[in-house]
Chain A
Amino acid sequence: MVDPRTQGTSLYFNRRDFIRTAAVAGAGLMVTVPGWAQEQAPASQPENELRIAMIGPGSQGRNLLTQCLKIPNIRFTAICDIWPYHQDYAANILKKYDMPVKVYADYNELLAGEKDLDAVIVATPDWVHAEHAIACLKAGKHVYCEKEMSNTLEGGRAMVKAARETGKLLQIGHQRRSNPRYWHALKMIRNDKILGRVTHFNSQWNRSRRFDLGWPEGKELDPATLKKYGYETMDQFRNWRWYKKFSGGPMADLGSHQMDVYNWFLDTPPAAVLAAGGLDNYEDREWYDNVMAIYEYKVGGKMVRGFYQVLNTTSFNGFFEAFMGDEGSLVISEDTRKGFVFREQEAKKREWEDEASKVEAMGKDAIELKIGETLRPDGTKDPEGQQLLEESKKPPHQLHLENFFSAIRNKTPLSCPPEVAYETAVTVLKANDAVAAGKRIEFKPDEFKV
């Protein structure tokens, strides 16, 4: 009666053991520890507490909220969301942490009522990021704002200017920028030239078919409230990522994480983009469900050309970023199972290569991209690498939040200030324009500047 899969014959008690292979030790390369320090103090120290509010504790907001709560001396004092269901969820979590919070529906009331906040985390839909982040900055608060910083370039520019004018910190949620795995890969590519000269890249985020997000019966917002906040229906409010008014579509939702990595690693925004795509596989939505883009970068006067795709009908090969050079290729992903270096047969062998353990990936011998196994010339482990390994055990968003809080406390640099995020916003939003126009778009360097 009970078994949902064998049509109810009996219960099957099976304590299956986990079957996973252990990670294999990897390449012996030095890495550097970034300038900002890890938040260490374990005990609560009220005098050092940062007082925080969150606007928009939806699905991503909850993730950030949970990560913040692992960081010492962070105290939430207020949350704000137009949907009582989200308000209750966040307030209930915070109650478990003995953090009673004031709950607001309107961010203006939050800012009027909470004068002693140090910072605000903005995790609302993209189209109101600019409105919310700018209001917080102007109220004298530091802001951590989810990506995409805005679904319009006007919004993004206004955010950059507001951060400059107020002198307050604005961190945008491209969390790979705070991820030690990515620093390690960057150092291998840029300093150790493990790939020789990077000539091409290939990246994707493929995910299976989405179904529409719903809401618990009886908990829908009433039409007047929806209208007040800019939504025609509850379905629009829940599935806002599919609408042009509210979102930059999958290129912004997913593609911006990855194109941000290319802008970062290649140390320049792109020179041109050619793209195709469309809303071909979903009904009653607006944004392209599939985009295939070719980007061109000019690096040191040479061409680097790369392909990016985002699909919403198949999870084939998941998500990763690959860099290809004339001596090898490197695959990295926020998915920690993906991190490999493939060396070309004819490339001159590095002195540490024989030391590095090999794994088979994609049908080839690969060196696993593994930090913390770094060796110094004398064969001992690199202590900085060990420290980085410890950092890398934290969830990616926690690291990016720690970077933000450290910037507030210690004036260490932000990993993703608004100028950087704006370059990424231009990079991905213009790919949407290229799809719409059906032509190749050349960027002018000034387009990336505010």
Chain B
Amino acid sequence: MTHMEADRLRDCPGGDGAHGWRFAFDAMACTFGLQIVHARQDYARQAAWAACAEIDRLEQLLSRFVPSSDISRLHSAQPGELVRVSPETLECLQLATQVHADTDGAFDIAFRNRRTLDPDVPPLVFDPATHAIGVQVAGLMLDLGALGKGYAVDRAVAVLGDWGIRAALVDSGQSTVHALGHPRDAEAWRVGLRRPDQQNTLLGAIELRDQALGGSGQFLHGSHIIDPRTGNPVDSSTAAWAVAPTAALADALSTAFMVLSPTEVQAFCAQHPDISAILWSPAAQEGELICFSTQGGLVQRCTGAS
């Protein structure tokens, strides 16, 4: 039986059947928000409970603060050791490795190890046949913070889909959001882009339907995004958002887009038509949003939110 505490799922005010019943759930050191469109609030709550049980299960696999998690077991593995992990952990780490490669190292869950790593030896090797991961470095220290929560959001949305929910908005700590379907009275979910240093200032808004948005910002708690290529904190005062098919990808890419230069972000979007980027800096472009997205095969550079 699950021993997840029932009071971890909280009803939130302001919801209704058309725009979604609202719930909040604390996990992975943040608050997940769920907005679920359904005629009955009690049904929406049961579906939310099932979705949050999945988030809770993933935290047990992915958190570096849970001693028995897959990530903790990888951390304590000796070089050369094979560690069997869950398919979800394997999927997350394979995605992280893929994004690392696609962003030329701008996204890096092993950034804490990177300075001491041999560039020719990847820290992890995958053996999907046995669901094992080979650890190739001593003192491995992975940080899935910029991907795991988005992944959990995707899985929660999948569970809601199992429960027959056709429209929902699920976010992790308001930094990554996955939009399933659309509310009854609109064609898409409308999501605001907040200025990171001024909580009540909206820079723009974006409409999402069966898409995810991830955001990274710099002002609130000082600089905390490390450029894995230099090991130093990113010094530009910016925010970056990524629109992607999944929240895991949007989560990871928004972090990478903080690190990459606007030119590099533009090039990335040109190569990945399903990804859009929005960048913001108070100094550049008179504080306007810069958007890169592929429309009709062309990457457009535009100002103002799309």
Contacts and interface: CB of A to CB of B under 8 A. Distances in A.
A10 B200 CA distance: 7
A125 B190 CA distance: 44
Interface residues on A, range: 35 or more
B284 interface: no
Nearest to B86: A66
A39 to B, nearest CB: 10
Contacts of B49: 211, 213-214
Contacts of A213: 46, 49
B224 A15 contact: yes
A71 B67 CA distance: 17
B6 A209 contact: yes
Contact of A2 (B23, B190, B199, B201): B190
Contacts of A393: 67-68, 72-73, 76
Interface string A307-331: 0000000010001000000000000
Contacts of B6: 207-211
A355 B7 CA distance: 40
Given A44-B129, A209-B7, A216-B163, A13 B194 contact: yes
A218 B191 CA distance: 31
Interface in B204-230: 205, 215-217, 220-221, 224-225
A241 B1 contact: yes
A93 interface: yes
Given A5-B31, A207-B6, A394-B68, A11 B12 contact: no
B177 interface: yes
B131 A11 contact: no
Contacts of B246: none
A96 interface: yes
Contact of A42 (B30, B132, B192, B200): B132
Contacts of B45: 211
A4 B1 contact: no
Contacts of A214: 42-43, 46-47, 49
Nearest to A209: B6
Given A4-B33, A43-B130, A10 B192 contact: yes
A42 B130 contact: yes
Contact of A15 (B46, B86, B146, B171): B146
B3 A207 contact: yes
Given A9-B192, A14-B173, A43-B130, A4 B163 contact: no
B65 A18 contact: yes
Contacts of A59: 1-2, 53
Most B CB within 10 A of own CB, among A18, A63, A215 = A18
A10 B202 contact: yes
B84 A70 contact: yes
A214 B41 CA distance: 12
A181 B170 CA distance: 37
B35 interface: yes
A69 interface: yes
A20 B221 CA distance: 17
Nearest to A70: B84
A44 B169 contact: no
Contact of B1 (A60, A70, A211, A215): A60
Given A1-B205, A2-B190, A4-B34, A11 B215 contact: yes
Nearest to B200: A9
Interface string A212-228: 11111110000000000
Contacts of B73: 393-394
A17 B224 contact: yes
A15 B24 contact: no
Contacts of B33: 3-5
Interface in A176-196: none
Nearest to A43: B130
Of A4, A60, A392, most buried by chain B (CB within 10 Å of CB) is A4
B190 A1 contact: yes
Given A14-B221, A209-B6, A390 B12 contact: no
Interface in A394-414: 394-396, 398
Contacts of B87: 93, 96-97
Interface of A: 1-5, 7-20, 42-44, 59-60, 63, 66, 69-72, 93, 96-98, 207-218, 241, 253, 315, 319, 336, 390, 392-396, 398
Given A7-B13, A11-B174, 14 more contacts: A1-B189, A8-B14, A10-B192, A10-B195, A14-B220, A17-B221, A42-B132, A60-B1, A97-B131, A207-B5, A210-B6, A213-B49, A392-B67, A393-B73
27 contacts: A1-B192, A2-B169, A2-B174, A2-B177, A4-B34, A5-B31, A7-B13, A9-B192, A9-B202, A10-B199, A11-B191, A14-B174, A14-B220, A15-B216, A18-B29, A59-B2, A60-B1, A69-B131, A96-B87, A97-B87, A97-B131, A208-B6, A216-B47, A217-B43, A217-B163, A394-B73, A396-B68
